[in-house]
């Protein structure tokens, strides 16, 4: 390749784009982000279980408390400072609030609450791991424990 300003510019663009693409899809641990998607389309994932009180359809007090943190401030409450295009309405039952999200995909190919395959619900991924194209929720910390995530997963299975 002969040296011309045009060829040098193309080479620099190619190197820059190649570097950016090589960095995409990597988590803080160096593992691909999709590897953190532990339930969706994973035939080896164990069935959801729950030993914690307050995460059942009939008794959802603990789950409601966890999800109310999502609706506060500028997150998913739908107020004027809301940072998202969807809101979680917990004015009724938790089941109704989550069911309203069955057909809403927020910037990803996954539904927030997937009524066909609850394990592929974007909300489940966001509270359990660092999902593809997003950050682990809640962004303010206070991440859900493994038991809480499994109880949320079971709840999603139970309502669908």
Structural contact between residues 74 and 83, judged by C-beta atoms closer than 8 angstroms: yes
Is the pLDDT at 98 greater than 60? The verdict is yes
- Phi, psi at 89, each rounded to 5°: -100, 110
Question: 123 in helix, strand or coil?
Answer: helix
pLDDT tens digits, one per residue of 113-135: 999 999 989 889 888 876 656 67
Residue 25's pLDDT band (cuts 50, 70, 90): very low
Give the integer Cα–Cα distance in Å for 97 and 4.
Answer: 61
List residues bridging with 32 in a β-sheet: 26
Structural contact between residues 54 and 152, judged by C-beta atoms closer than 8 angstroms: no
Range in 16-20, 64-68, 155-159 with the lowest mean pLDDT: 16-20
């Amino acid at each position: 390749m002969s040296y011309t300003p045009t060829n040098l510019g193309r080479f620099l663009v190619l190197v820059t784009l190649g570097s950016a693409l090589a960095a995409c899809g990597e988590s803080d641990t160096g593992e691909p982000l999709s590897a953190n998607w532990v339930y969706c389309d994973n035939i080896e994932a164990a069935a959801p279980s729950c030993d914690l009180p307050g995460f059942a359809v009939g008794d959802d007090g603990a789950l409601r408390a966890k999800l109310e943190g999502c609706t506060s401030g500028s997150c998913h409450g739908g107020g004027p400072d809301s940072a998202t295009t969807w809101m979680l309405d917990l004015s009724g039952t938790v089941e109704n609030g989550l069911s309203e999200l069955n057909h809403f995909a927020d910037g990803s190919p996954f539904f927030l609450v997937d009524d066909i395959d609850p394990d592929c619900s974007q909300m489940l991924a966001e509270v359990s791991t660092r999902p593809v194209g997003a950050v682990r929720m809640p962004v303010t910390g206070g991440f859900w424990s493994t038991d809480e995530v499994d109880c949320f997963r079971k709840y999603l299975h139970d309502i669908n």
